């Protein structure tokens, strides 16, 4: 009796970790729910740039290959968090129960964050070790081909002494665990001078800061328009009304100052001057996750004619942010696979205050992103190419 020739056992498709700092927050929960919903074909990928034509052959990891985990300081289970978001109209009713299994799986991978305010139990280096061990453990247990760490935790004030704020402890832990790092918030993260040597020597790619989802997105389009049409902007003032956890965190003037610096940088960079005017953020809890951003732009035309442009942006914050978080996870995982290191300035399209020396106008940033996508394409013989 002749033995049957044994068929080669196909190796399982690689999976990649997305470790979210602030994993139980609105943006994180919406990203986890959205990834599962789009991967299952329950919703189209509206708002995901990486699902558009220029990105289809870049070897980006598929949405179904992403595995979520993270740190948070609160313990409300993700399925419950998702139900709250559905009650508030951020997620469609019924969607949290349709992706319940994925939410439970991600919830099992969330570890306690820190440090608690005033903590003296561990040194900063010990906290970095604890966080890095959590991330490494996740990668090993889930048998992941790699992971990216993305900060979507509450905005913290800029540090006033030399110590590392929590966002910087997590950023250092990401690099210590061998993972690329993305800062979707205005918090310090890798921008701390004490972390510069680690960022430079890690051989890992990183990106940030602060996702560009509303008012600043508009500013990065309108600023270049005024400059290119030779119209003189005299004053640019803005007000934001928002609720939710982000609104509460930004009610702290020090946290709001960190946010507003990024918004104002876009104007200085695109107009070449800093016009008069300020940005204000008001916490309006009744608005929940909905944000109204109003800009008032006073400008001069030919022969000094005085004119005004006003814009009103009414957006759902987490639905604007979540697809960008998924884009950034896929692009950064792929950048790591391709051996890219250091600041990913070509991802400036996504940020208010981008790392590196890229342009500030959205149109130029999109061109850079398209070039970046070209660099991610699998070489003809690239064994890591998959989709």
Measure the CA–CA gap between 61 and 275, rounded to whole angstroms: 42
In angstroms, what is the minimal distance from the CB of 69 to ligand NAD?
A: 12
Residues that bind ligand NAD (CB under 6 A): 21-22, 24-27, 71-74, 113, 152-155, 166, 184-185, 210-211, 213, 244-246, 249, 317-318, 320-321
Q: Which residue, 133 or 232, is less far from ligand NAD as judged by CB? A: 133
Q: Which residue, 74 or 268, is less far from ligand NAD as judged by CB? A: 74
In angstroms, what is the minimal distance from the CB of 56 to ligand NAD?
A: 26
Helix (H, G, I), strand (E, B) or coil at 66: strand
In angstroms, what is the minimal distance from the CB of 51 to ligand NAD?
A: 19
In angstroms, what is the minimal distance from the CB of 153 to ligand NAD?
A: 4
In angstroms, what is the minimal distance from the CB of 168 to ligand NAD?
A: 11
Which residues have a Cβ under 8 Å from the Cβ of 12 and sit 6 or more positions away? none
Residue/partner pairs of 262-268 with CB below 8 Å, 24 or more apart: 262/186, 262/209, 262/210, 262/216, 262/351, 262/352, 262/353, 263/215, 263/216, 263/219, 263/238, 263/352, 265/352, 265/353, 265/360, 266/216, 266/219, 266/220, 266/223, 266/352, 266/360, 267/219, 267/223, 267/236
* Contact criterion met (CB below 8 Å) for 219 and 260: no
Measure the CA–CA gap between 167 and 48, rounded to whole angstroms: 26
Helix (H, G, I), strand (E, B) or coil at 46: coil
In angstroms, what is the minimal distance from the CB of 236 to ligand NAD?
A: 20
In angstroms, what is the minimal distance from the CB of 315 to ligand NAD?
A: 7
Residue 291 parent element (H or E): strand 290-300
Q: Which residue, 145 or 256, is less far from ligand NAD as judged by CB? A: 256
Which residue, chain included where needed, has tokens 């399982």? 12
Q: Which residue, 176 or 226, is less far from ligand NAD as judged by CB? A: 176
Measure the CA–CA gap between 45 and 326, rounded to whole angstroms: 10
In angstroms, what is the minimal distance from the CB of 19 to ligand NAD?
A: 11
CB-based burial of residue 360 (10 Å sphere; 0-12 exposed, 13-18 middle, 19+ buried)?
buried
Q: Which residue, 65 or 188, is less far from ligand NAD as judged by CB? A: 188
Q: Which residue, 27 or 103, is less far from ligand NAD as judged by CB? A: 27
Q: Cα–Cα–Cα angle for 328, 331, 332, nearest 5°? A: 80
Q: Give 87's strand partners.
A: none
Q: Which residue, 59 or 208, is less far from ligand NAD as judged by CB? A: 208
Helix (H, G, I), strand (E, B) or coil at 308: strand
Helix (H, G, I), strand (E, B) or coil at 141: helix
**Nearest Cα residue to 70 out of 184, 207, 159:** 184
Q: Which residue, 72 or 107, is less far from ligand NAD as judged by CB? A: 72
Q: Which residue, 22 or 275, is less far from ligand NAD as judged by CB? A: 22
Q: Cα–Cα–Cα angle for 253, 255, 257, nearest 5°? A: 65
CB-based burial of residue 156 (10 Å sphere; 0-12 exposed, 13-18 middle, 19+ buried)?
buried
Q: Which residue, 49 or 376, is less far from ligand NAD as judged by CB? A: 49
């Amino acid at each position: 009796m002749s033995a049957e020739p044994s068929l080669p056992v196909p190796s399982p498709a690689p999976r990649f970790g997305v470790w979210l700092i602030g994993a139980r927050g609105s943006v994180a929960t919406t990203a986890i729910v959205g990834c599962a919903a789009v991967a299952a074909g329950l919703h189209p990928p509206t708002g995901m740039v990486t699902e558009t034509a220029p990105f289809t052959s870049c070897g980006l990891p598929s949405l179904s290959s992403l595995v979520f985990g993270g740190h948070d300081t609160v313990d409300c289970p993700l399925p419950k968090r998702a139900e709250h978001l559905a009650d508030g109209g951020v997620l469609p009713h019924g969607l949290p129960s349709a992706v319940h299994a994925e939410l439970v799986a991600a919830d099992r991978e969330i570890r306690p964050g820190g440090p608690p305010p005033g903590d003296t139990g561990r040194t900063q280096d010990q906290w970095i070790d604890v966080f890095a061990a959590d991330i490494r453990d996740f990668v090993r247990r889930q048998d992941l081909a790699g992971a990216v760490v993305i900060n979507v935790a509450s905005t913290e004030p800029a540090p006033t002494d030399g110590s590392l704020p929590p966002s910087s402890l997590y950023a250092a832990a990401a690099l210590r665990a061998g993972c690329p790092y993305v800062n979707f918030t205005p918090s310090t993260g890798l921008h701390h001078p004490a972390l510069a040597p680690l960022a430079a020597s890690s051989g890992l790619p990183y990106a940030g800061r602060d996702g560009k989802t509303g008012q600043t997105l508009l500013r990065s389009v309108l600023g270049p328009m005024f400059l290119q049409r030779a119209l003189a902007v005299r004053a640019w003032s803005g007000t934001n009304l928002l609720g939710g956890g982000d609104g509460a965190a930004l009610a702290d003037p020090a946290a709001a100052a960190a946010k507003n610096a990024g918004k104002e940088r876009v104007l200085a960079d695109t107009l070449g001057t800093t016009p008069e005017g300020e940005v204000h953020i008001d916490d309006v809890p009744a608005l929940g996750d909905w944000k109204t951003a109003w800009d008032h732009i006073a400008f001069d035309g030919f022969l000094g004619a005085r004119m005004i442009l006003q814009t009103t942006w009414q957006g759902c914050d987490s639905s604007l942010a979540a697809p960008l978080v998924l884009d950034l996870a896929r692009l950064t995982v792929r950048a790591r696979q391709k051996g890219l290191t250091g600041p990913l300035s070509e991802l400036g399209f996504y940020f208010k205050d981008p790392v590196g020396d890229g342009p500030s106008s959205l149109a130029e940033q999109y061109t850079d992103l398209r070039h970046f996508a070209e660099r991610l394409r699998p070489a003809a013989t690239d064994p890591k190419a998959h989709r």
